[in-house]
Chains A and B, each alone.
Chain A
Amino acid sequence: MSLEAAVEVSIGTFEERLHLEVADGEVVAVLGPNGSGKSTLLRALAGMEPLSGGRIVLDGKVLDDPVAKVLVPPERRSCGMVFQDYLLFPHLTTTANVAFGLRSRGASKADASHRALEWLQRMGLADQASSKPGQLSGGQAQRVALARALATEPRLLLLDEPMAALDVGTRGSVRHQLRRHLQAFGGPCVLVTHDPLDAAAIADRLVIIEAGRVVQQGSLEDVTTRPRTAYVADLMGLNLIRGRATGTDLALDGGMTLQTATPARGAMLAVVAPRDIALYLHPPGGSPRNVWPTRVAEVHLMGDRARVLLDGPVRVAAEITAVALADLRLTDGSPVWASVKATQIDVYDADER
């Protein structure tokens, strides 16, 4: 393990306490809702937020350890960072921006400019060498920021919401390029984002944090199919249900019991895709094992699809076509019957970590 961090930070009433290990060449995406402590984690790793407990070790070198009274200041950590909004120095040309780190580390002006130009070439920005940041597009600015961070040949690379400042149209291609440059980096890389698509496209592993704690981590597949919290399930667009299984009976907290296809025992989590929940105006007869009456809480139209949030006894979202929504004439408060097949409920152990 090349980066090993036990991060403990308290800022006012907010407390962060988490453990993060990143191997050389591994890209880890940290996802979490606003205020979950994603940026605080990066700031702690970069040395801008001193730890109150724990330890940060990079390549066997201790960067921060409040117990041992070790704190390497940001300027002496070999830790490149791509900031949110990039923070390119507006008064310097792109070349001078990329050369900044080399100059600060004692390189001569000519040498630093020469190496900066090489980086700009590698990023396909040779023609923007004498532009000021204000003249760059979002994607170009991101590449300059990446070149600026990489030019100092850091041992650790941090990216804070690198895609947030880009418009939706350019994201796809920028994501692809970013992935390519990060693969060439070779050291441990931590990427903070709130977009699962970015995480999926760029990272090897996902770490999900909420309220300063890691709530789940693993491969993209693991996180998408086995969400452990409502936030993660929501991020992946799934309904998360908690219950206690006895055979194929899953007793929910609200008193309702669902029939599942996989026998299990004990505290369980279950996911149901919204598109697997069917809605009817009258009690349906047929194969689905789970049928219950409920009411519509909210309706969201998304293009030709509609997401219908259902009120108790189990609060889930159903996804139906806009045409079906119109046929059923569903609005907030409409009574409705919901059904889901036992085979479409994916049950897994609640305690497995």
Chain B
Amino acid sequence: MATINPLRRRRPSALVVAVATLTVAFLAVPIIGLLTKASWSTLWADLTTPLAIDALRLSLVCSLWATGLSLVFGLPLAWVLARTHFPGRNLVRALTILPMVLPPVVGGVALLLAFGRDGILGRPLFDWFGIQMTFSTAGAVMAETFVAMPFLIITVEAALRSLDGRYEEAAANLGAGRWTTFRRVTLPMVSSSLIAGAALTWARALGEFGATITFAGDIQGRTQTLPLAVYLALQQNEQVAIALSLALLAVSIVVLVALRGRWLGAIRS
């Protein structure tokens, strides 16, 4: 007797199919709109206007800085969260993830109140060292890092947590010190998660709008990253806005394709 797969026997109801189709359309139509309204013949010219060039260059610089800073500061925190036990660890983890769910504009306001000219840290920074974070490229990097770093931390922390700690014991047993163990065993064993986390962080930093405009402002060539330029251009020169949007869309698709295995895998587990 052949076994019958119950999932294959059940036909989805027409209503469910209709709703699902509608949902796909809802997700696809805006992308189609973007693609059809684009003026492909002037795309290169639109992308090489001074506004676009400045925004592209600045976005690249800021998002790479934000990714780099997230690696430097996020990796040790991910390790601490995954490997140590201390009171209040869950609180720290919640704090780490908070920027992911916090409206970015709120993050920008919070940054402003902390690092703005009148902020609790911003005032001494300016008074003593003459450092001003607001309206500077450093401020844009800071805003992007604040919003994007959680993606790196949670991805790497999950990988470190699922890594069998006995491999590190095996390395120590073979004479490897902490740093050698980390460099030659821990890091390679979580490398795919590290790359995925970094890519997600970079993509998030690249698309950051709310916190950047609130904290760093909208100054062309200094703090006006791609999303800000798109918003500005939409009111003045729509074709430039569409061209820049297409550039961001292309980047998103590349990241999505590059990470599809890992991302979907993470969702399944």
> Within the complex, which residue of B167, B173, B180 is in contact with A80, where a contact is CB–CB below 8 Å?
B173
B247 at the interface (CB under 8 A from A): no
B76 at the interface (CB under 8 A from A): no
> Within the complex, which residue of A48, A73, A90, A152 is in contact with B174, where a contact is CB–CB below 8 Å?
A152
> In the complex, how many angstroms separate the beta carbon of B166 from the nearest chain A beta carbon?
6
> Within the complex, which residue of B169, B175, B188 is in contact with A105, where a contact is CB–CB below 8 Å?
B175
B50 at the interface (CB under 8 A from A): no
Chain A residue with Cβ nearest B166: A87
Which residues in chain A, 74-95, are within 8 Å of chain B measured between CB atoms?
Answer: 74-76, 79-81, 83, 87, 89-92
B172 at the interface (CB under 8 A from A): yes
A119 at the interface (CB under 8 A from B): no
Contact B174 A100 (CB under 8 A): yes
Top 10 A-B pairs ranked by shortest CB distance?
A: A101-B174, A104-B175, A104-B176, A74-B172, A87-B170, A91-B188, A75-B172, A105-B175, A81-B173, A75-B175
Q: Chain A contacts of B185 at CB under 8 A?
A: 89
Q: Chain B contacts of A148 at CB under 8 A?
A: 174
A89 to B189, CA, bound (A): 8
> In the complex, how many angstroms separate the beta carbon of B201 from the nearest chain A beta carbon?
23
Which residues in chain B, 145-200, are within 8 Å of chain A measured between CB atoms?
Answer: 164, 166-167, 169-177, 180, 184-185, 188-189, 191
Which residues in chain A, 101-132, are within 8 Å of chain B measured between CB atoms?
Answer: 101, 103-105
Q: Known contacts being A83-B166, A100-B184, A104-B180, is A90 close to B175, with CB within 8 Å?
A: no
Q: Known contacts being A100-B184, A104-B180, is A87 close to B167, with CB within 8 Å?
A: yes
Contact A81 B170 (CB under 8 A): yes
> Within the complex, which residue of A46, A89, A91, A103 is in contact with B173, where a contact is CB–CB below 8 Å?
A46
Q: Chain A contacts of B177 at CB under 8 A?
A: 75, 104
Chain A residue with Cβ nearest B176: A104
A73 to B188, CA, bound (A): 24
Contact A100 B189 (CB under 8 A): no
Q: Chain B contacts of A101 at CB under 8 A?
A: 174-175
Q: Known contacts being A100-B184, A104-B180, is A89 close to B167, with CB within 8 Å?
A: yes
Chain A residue with Cβ nearest B187: A91
A81 to B174, CA, bound (A): 8
> Within the complex, which residue of B164, B169, B180 is in contact with A74, where a contact is CB–CB below 8 Å?
B169
Among A74, A79, A83, chain B packs the most CB atoms within 10 A around the CB of A74
Which residues in chain B, 184-228, are within 8 Å of chain A measured between CB atoms?
Answer: 184-185, 188-189, 191
A92 to B184, CA, bound (A): 9
Chain B residue with Cβ nearest A88: B170
Q: Chain B contacts of A76 at CB under 8 A?
A: 175
A101 to B171, CA, bound (A): 8
A289 to B183, CA, bound (A): 72
Q: Chain B contacts of A46 at CB under 8 A?
A: 173
> Which bracket fits the contact residues of A?
20 to 34
A87 to B191, CA, bound (A): 18
A73 to B167, CA, bound (A): 16
> Within the complex, which residue of B164, B166, B176 is in contact with A100, where a contact is CB–CB below 8 Å?
B176
> In the complex, how many angstroms separate the beta carbon of A191 from the nearest chain B beta carbon?
16
> In the complex, how many angstroms separate the beta carbon of A106 from the nearest chain B beta carbon?
9
> In the complex, how many angstroms separate the beta carbon of B169 from the nearest chain A beta carbon?
6
Chain B residue with Cβ nearest A81: B173
Among A80, A81, A83, A87, chain B packs the most CB atoms within 10 A around the CB of A87
Which residues in chain B, 250-267, are within 8 Å of chain A measured between CB atoms?
Answer: none
Q: Chain A contacts of B188 at CB under 8 A?
A: 89, 91-92
Contact A48 B176 (CB under 8 A): no
> In the complex, how many angstroms separate the beta carbon of A68 from the nearest chain B beta carbon?
23
Q: Chain A contacts of B171 at CB under 8 A?
A: 89, 100, 104
**Sample of 14 A–B contacts (CB below 8 Å):** A48-B172, A75-B172, A75-B174, A76-B175, A80-B173, A83-B166, A83-B170, A83-B173, A87-B166, A90-B189, A91-B188, A100-B174, A101-B175, A104-B171
Contact A74 B184 (CB under 8 A): no
Contact A74 B167 (CB under 8 A): no
Chain A residue with Cβ nearest B175: A104
Contact B172 A73 (CB under 8 A): yes
A81 to B170, CA, bound (A): 8
Q: Chain B contacts of A152 at CB under 8 A?
A: 174-175
Q: Chain A contacts of B189 at CB under 8 A?
A: 89-91
Chain A residue with Cβ nearest B169: A48
Q: Chain B contacts of A87 at CB under 8 A?
A: 164, 166-167, 169-170
Q: Chain B contacts of A74 at CB under 8 A?
A: 169, 172-173
Contact B169 A75 (CB under 8 A): no
Q: Chain B contacts of A89 at CB under 8 A?
A: 167, 170-171, 185, 188-189
A81 to B167, CA, bound (A): 12
A89 to B169, CA, bound (A): 11
Q: Known contacts being A89-B185, A91-B188, A91-B189, is A104 close to B169, with CB within 8 Å?
A: no
Contact B174 A104 (CB under 8 A): yes
> In the complex, how many angstroms separate the beta carbon of A264 from the nearest chain B beta carbon?
49
Contact A79 B167 (CB under 8 A): no
A118 to B185, CA, bound (A): 23
Q: Chain B contacts of A48 at CB under 8 A?
A: 169, 172-173
Q: Chain A contacts of B175 at CB under 8 A?
A: 75-76, 101, 104-105, 152
Chain B residue with Cβ nearest A100: B174
Contact A75 B166 (CB under 8 A): no
A9 to B174, CA, bound (A): 23
The interface bits of chain B over 17-48 (1 if a CB of A lies within 8 angstroms of the residue's CB, else 0) are: 00000000000000000000000000000000
Q: Add 7 more A-B contacts to A75-B174, A81-B173, A100-B184 (CB < 8 A).
A: A48-B169, A83-B170, A89-B167, A89-B188, A91-B188, A103-B184, A105-B175
Chain B residue with Cβ nearest A48: B169
